[in-house]
Amino acid sequence: MSESVHELQSRALAQLDAIWDNESVEAWRVEYIGRKGAVNALFEQIGALPKAERGAFGKAANELKNALEAAFQAKVGAIKQRALSEALEAEPLDVTLPGRQPARGHVHPTIQTLREIYKIFGEMGFQVYRTRQVETDMMNFQLLNIPPYHPARDNWSTFYVAGAEEKVLLRTHTSPGQIRAMRAGYPNPVRAILPGMCYRYEQISARYEIQFNQVEGIVVGRHITFGDLKGTLTEFARRMFGARPVRFYGDHFPFTEPSAQMDVRCIICEGKGTDPLCKYTGWLEILGSGMVHPDVLRNGGYDPNEWSGFAFGMGPERITMLKHGIQDIRYFWGNDLRFLEQF
Amino acid sequence: MQVPVSWLQDFVDLTLPVDALAEKLTFAGLEVEDIEYIGLPSAKAGSNKTLAWDREKIFVAQLVEALPHPNADRLKIVRVAYGQGAPVEMVTGAPNIRVGDAGQKVVLALEGSRLYDGHQDGRAIMTLKKSKIRGVESAAMVCSEKELGLSDEHEGILILPDDAPVGTPLADYLGDAILTVKINPNFARAQSVLGVAREVAALTGQTVRLPQTWNTHAVGAPQTAFVEIEIADAQLCQRFSALLIRNVTLKPSPFWMQQRLLRAGMRPINNIVDITNYVMLGYGKPLHAFDYDALLARANGAMPKICVRPARAGEQMQTLDGQQRTFRAHDILVADARGPVGIGGIMGGSETEVSDATKNVLLESAIFDFISIRRTTAEQKLPSEAATRFGRGIPASQNVAPARVAAELMRDLADGAIDPALADNYPAPQPSITVEITTREVARLLGITMPLAEMERILRALDFTVTPLSAEALRVAPPAYRTDVDGADDVLEELVRIYGFEKIPSTLIADALPPLEGNVALEQEEQARDILVDAGLQEIVTYAFTHPAHESQLVPLETAATAFPLPARAYVALENPISAERSVLRQTLLPNMLDIAASNLRHAKRVALFEIGSVFLTRGAGETQPGDLPEDASLPLEPRRLGIVLTGLRHESTWQSAAVELMDFYDLKGIVQELGAGLHVRDLDFVATAHPALHPGRAAELRIGAAAVGVLGELHPLTREKWALPAQAVLVAEFDLEKILAHAETRFIVRTISRYPAIVQDIALLVDENVQAARVEGLIRQTGGALLTDAHLFDVYRGEPLPPGKKSLAYTLTFQALDQVLSDADAAKARAKIVARLARQVGAELRSG
């Protein structure tokens, strides 16, 4: 016997160490631990040994076999692992290349703001109630304390419908919805917001549009106070614009009395009066409000001596403009995708 | 309305800085929209529009002497004294200073003063520097109005009145702040400097200063020695008073009056006209000055008899703006025996207007029906300061005192002699009003406890007459100069705006909630929006306005009777459209949407839009819509529609592959199917149809059960060209959204998922070209029954090796049972049944291989 078991093991393992491909490792297996391999050849020699040596030799050969098989398995695993690593390393991506964009649409910005308004008021128990856009003069004006040729009409430049027997017009505000909501609600209390498109005869400019949305609100109950008006609208402002001061001050609407404007502290200058957004006043006008006028309560079916209520109105486009720094109201119906896709 | 603070101080002391006062007024409901400072520093950041006159450098001064300039004929050397040190010497070219002049009061600006550059257009600020003008050193300047920012006048320098105090900083003498006040309709009483002063007084605990005789004018008689006044209808004219001022001299009004008029926004004309305007601006009462001799001439020398009456239809008069005007029966005319001499409260006639030759002035002060004034103003397009004030209402009790102020000014400034008689016809005395207000009512509506004493204090500050009735109640009467208070709610408003809105504590509504019901229609609409947005569509909102011709580009009107979305209904047309292109309300969404698609295609390669909005349909007999009240029966229907427009790339191209396919009919159909699935609308049918706007072979009607709910398809190339859209498929759809939503199942039953394995088999069927896929799939599903859980079309093939006129439809069929493992034999049996049925009914052959 020219080589000891020990020498065979050293030779085989040294050889295996250098092998890194599947073909060679298979050849190695055949050579050493295959059926006709070197290890089996050792076993065949056992019979030729003196009896006393057979036990020790057999044990050594067995250990050799186990060691080589384990080394073989480890090598196969290592080769597989290395090949996988090499393959993966060979296919890197430039993670800074643009991703594939799924086609995604967007809800129109006004509608997004409307949804926010619905949600905030919805959580305060307000229902959304939509009413018609083409209205009678009676609903839009007279039942709201604005008789024909009343000076307050100066505030509402009106589109009239041609050829109608009674004066028919495009509603100039969502306030006729107050009457409709009350008539639908009587004799229950009312707590509703009334969103929708309104129309005014204006020269279209960055500030004025001939159509715009409004959200009216009306609350009627047996114990509704101006304090409730302030509390409700302050809560709305907090949800919509974050926790920032609000202020109420005198205004005039023929259908509410007393009437008040609500401002929130400017979201840019925070009250310092340094930004054109708030016209350097430090405050942003958000909505008009007031206690429902007794005549209007009566027109809605409620006895003003038993019931009281408050109403308010706001412009979702204006709110959207304030929140997103939009300078020009014409963007809303211009529907330029480059504008809409930013929302 | 512009209110110069300097004028305000005639009536009330100011105890607050201007900006603080402005805020107080705003909070009380009299909104100060802007403050313009004249020669004074502005307190507000960002609005330094005007220049402040330096108190140390710009003074009221007096011309000591004017000497010729040695080197220039047009220039003069002037020496000017301003009470400090020696007179200052400088060069001026002002044509209104002549050599030899002395004594004039002028404005002196010393070196370093900041002024407007008189030689540049607009308002450019310069700093006055020492210079040599034609060899003569000049370190100061006498200023023009333009240099001071008072006007654009730069012909000569500003000559101040003789009583101007020499040495006073100009800022103290002419400096001012002008408040721009927004007058809401409930503040008619504040349409004058006096009116604003009253409000200031109430807010700051002051009292107003009025002419001594203000409240002492008795009612006069309709007839005097110089005029007789008749009122035909007390409804139209509640009071008409007149004074005669004899022997006036027409000339420019004095500097101070001109300055006040300018600062209040009116141009000075002559002393008589200026006085009427001055009294209107100052005291809120529009007046009219007639040339009395012209009235006499019209009466052939007899005493003029003036009648206020409605116009006779077709009656005409030339107004003093030179326009010949024709009147209608609701216009109020001031007329004499010969005809109209003025439109009541709006504009006088040219024949009797004050001119340079006028000697005697008949001064009219009258109260006209404000509704009528507003109507005539609008119809005759004659807005004016006077009409605005009349149009908001002026109390008849306030008619004479302002006229007396004006007469006295004509005496003082035009050398006139006032006839002591007052002609005064007052057929409808202003009613006196009393209102009761209780602490309980204040608590009920404001939610606060306001002591009776506080209520009294506030109301007295506002000139109300207050009588306590009990420990909880007051009887109050508004001052005679107010006509806007007639109920407890009005008094409440006065209380809260002076008390301060900020002092009312915020509360959350404690009152009962109404029954909550939600708004199903809106919620479904929002759900439809979300589905469409998730499908990659962008929501747009377009104008509700359009023009019939614009819509008929989509569907010619003569065919519209049958071609949804355009029913042949009369348009809801506007009486006063903003433009011809926006003269009616839309009956369909698509035309305006296609405009938006076209404009976006200038920069976008993929346009996928939807809109949800109302269209407006003239109501047919008996038609109703949800939410109708009985009185709405003649108003248009406003159904909600859904419009979709798709064109261009299916996906934006990427760096991986530039070649991207264009959207086609099936993209649109897929979205509509997705909408139906998302809303749980069953039985959506797409039925091939012919439509004038659409490609003849690529149009479908959408049906739910038997009901048609809209159309979809590819735009006809000719229609596409009308919108100048590119030559690629433009897919459009318009649906009656309410009809779709009506079929949405809010409660749907879920299909059970089998626990047993499925058997999946493919079949390819050869059918004639005209056999529709929906028919084949319907037969497959019908025949497969409960075992067939899915049939998915995975291929449509035409061409070699198939014979012409034939196509192959390939389906993956999934068989599965709920209660057992299905055997291959069971599936084969079901499959064979399907194939046999298809062969029988549509002549389908099973393709081998």
In this complex, do B627 and A131 lie within 8 Å of one another by their Cβ atoms? yes
Cβ separation A107–B517 shorter than 8 A: no
Looking at chain B, the whole-number percentage of residues with pLDDT higher than 90 is 78
| Separation CA B25–CA B31 (nearest Å) | 6
Q: Do B371 and A274 touch (CB under 8 A)?
A: no
pLDDT bin (cut points 50, 70, 90) of residue B392 is confident
Contact A128 B489 (CB under 8 A): no
Contact flag A102-B536 (C-beta cutoff 8 Å): yes
Rounded to the nearest 5 degrees, what angle is found at the Cα of A217, between the Cα atoms of A215 and A223? 170
Contact B543 A210 (CB under 8 A): yes
DSSP class per residue in B684-735:
EEEEE---TTEEEEEEEEEEETTEEEEEEEEEPHHHHHHTT--SS-EEEEEE
* DSSP state string for A142-175: GGGT--TT-GGGGG---PBBTT-SS-EEE-SSST
pLDDT at residue number A153: 81
Taking residues A34-46, what's their average pLDDT? Answer: 88
**Chain B within 8 Å of A308 (Cβ-Cβ)?**
yes
How many Å lie between the alpha carbon of B233 and the closest alpha carbon of chain A? Answer: 19
Ordered structural domains, chain B, with CATH: 2-48+177-204 (3.30.56.10), 58-174 (2.40.50.140), 228-425 (3.50.40.10), 435-500 (3.30.56.10), 520-742 (3.30.930.10), 759-846 (3.30.70.380)
Handedness of CA B106, B107, B110, B111 (dihedral sign): negative
Using a CB-CB cut-off of 8 Å, the residues of chain B touching A152 are 185
Q: Which of A98, A103, A225 sits opposite B447 (nearest CB)?
A: A225
ipTM: 0.87
pLDDT per position as a tens digit, B67-86: 999 888 889 999 999 988 88
Which pLDDT score is estimated for B430? 87
Structure-token pair, residue B667: 């993209």
- One DSSP character per residue, B68-126 reads EETTEEEEEEEEEE-SSSSPEEEEE--TT--TT----EEEEEETT-EEE-TTSSS--EE
**What's the alpha-carbon Rg for chain A, to the nearest Å?**
42
**pLDDT over 70 (residue B664):** yes
Residue B189 is classified by DSSP as: G
Confidence (pLDDT) at B372: 87
Taking CB atoms and an 8 Å cutoff, what residues of chain B touch A190? 514
Could you give the percent of chain B with pLDDT greater than 70?
98
The alpha-carbon gap from A252 to the nearest alpha carbon of chain B, in Å, equals: 6
Nearest to A162 among B392, B574, B613 (CB): B574
At CA B182, angle to CA B180 and CA B185, rounded to 5? 150
Q: Do A103 and B506 touch (CB under 8 A)?
A: no
More confident site: B516 or B241? B241
Helices B193-204 and B271-283: crossing angle in degrees, nearest 10, is: 30
Q: Which range, of B104-113, B147-156, B176-185, B753-762, averages the lowest pLDDT?
A: B147-156
| Residues of A in Cβ contact (< 8 Å) with B596 | 335
A151 and B185 within 8 Å at the Cβ level: the answer is yes
Q: Is residue B769 predicted with pLDDT exceeding 50?
A: yes
CA nearest B497 in A: which residue? A250
Q: Which helix (H) or strand (E) holds B791?
A: strand B788-797
Cβ contact, residue pair B654, A161, below 8 Å:
no
Mean pLDDT for the stretch of residues A9-24: 92
DSSP H/E element including A199: strand A190-199
The arrangement of strands across the sheet holding B465-468 comes to: B435-438, B473-477, B465-468
Chain B residues in contact with A168 (beta carbon < 8 A) = 635
CB contact under 8 Å between A168 and B513, yes or no, is no
Query: With a threshold of 0.80, does the pTM exceed it?
Result: yes
The answer to whether A186 faces chain B, any CB pair under 8 Å, is no
Asked if B505 and B450 touch (Cβ cutoff 8 Å), the reply is no
Cα–Cα distances in angstroms (integers) from residue B334 to residues B305, B358, B361, B380, in the given order: 10, 20, 16, 16
Instruction: Please determine, for residue B561, whether its predicted confidence score (pLDDT) is greater than 80.
Output: no
Contact B501 A250 (CB under 8 A): yes
Could A280 and B46 be called an inter-chain contact, meaning their C-beta atoms sit closer than 8 Å? yes
State whether residue A138 sits within 8 Å of chain B by CB.
yes
From the candidates A114, A117, A337, which should be mutated to test the interface with B, based on the most B CB atoms within 10 A?
Answer: A337
Compare CB distances from A250 to B375, B497, B519 and report the shortest one's residue.
B497
Across A86-99, average pLDDT = 90
What's residue B557's pLDDT?
66
Q: Please, which pLDDT band fits residue B412 given cuts at 50, 70 and 90?
A: very high
Nearest to B371 by CA among B385, B392, B355, B340: B392
Beta bridge partners of B466: B476
Q: Is the pLDDT of residue B47 over 60?
A: no
Q: How far is B562 from chain A (nearest CA, A)?
A: 26
pLDDT of residue B683: 86
pLDDT score for B44: 62
For residue B660, the model assigns a pLDDT of 78
Sequence-ordered list of residues with C-beta below 8 angstroms from that of A35, at least 6 positions apart, any chain: none
Beta bridge partners of B326: B316
Does pLDDT of B646 surpass 90? yes
CA distance A72 to chain B (A): 42
Q: Is the model's pLDDT at A164 over the cut of 80?
A: no
Which tokens hold the place of B61? Answer: 């001064």
Mean of pLDDT values over B554-562: 70
Q: Chain A contacts of B28, Cβ < 8 Å?
A: 249-250
> Is the confidence at residue B317, as pLDDT, over 90?
yes
User: Can you give the pLDDT at residue B565?
Assistant: 83
Q: Which residue has the higher pLDDT, B568 or B655?
A: B655
Q: What single-letter amino acid sits at B468?
A: P
Contact B538 A163 (CB under 8 A): no
User: Which tokens is B655 given?
Assistant: 């760096």
Which tens digits make up the pLDDT trace of B106-126? Answer: 999 999 999 999 888 888 889
pLDDT attached to residue A1: 45
What residues of B are in contact with residue A219 (Cβ under 8 Å)? 509, 511
CB contact under 8 A, A210 and B510: no
Q: How confident is the model at residue B560 (pLDDT cuts 50, 70, 90)?
A: low
Q: What are the pLDDT digits (tens) for A145-163?
A: 998 888 778 778 899 999 8
Contacts of residue B42, Cβ cutoff 8 Å, sequence gap at least 6 = B35, B48, B49, B50, B52
A25-39, B402-416, B748-762: range with highest mean pLDDT: B402-416
pLDDT tens digits for range B612-626? 999 999 998 889 998
Give the range among B191-205, B212-226, B637-651 with minimum mean pLDDT.
B212-226
The H or E element spanning position B203 is helix B193-204
Count of CB atoms situated within 10 Å of the CB of B814: 17
Confidence of residue B165 (pLDDT cuts 50, 70, 90): very high
The answer, yes or no, to whether residue B503 has pLDDT greater than 70, is: yes
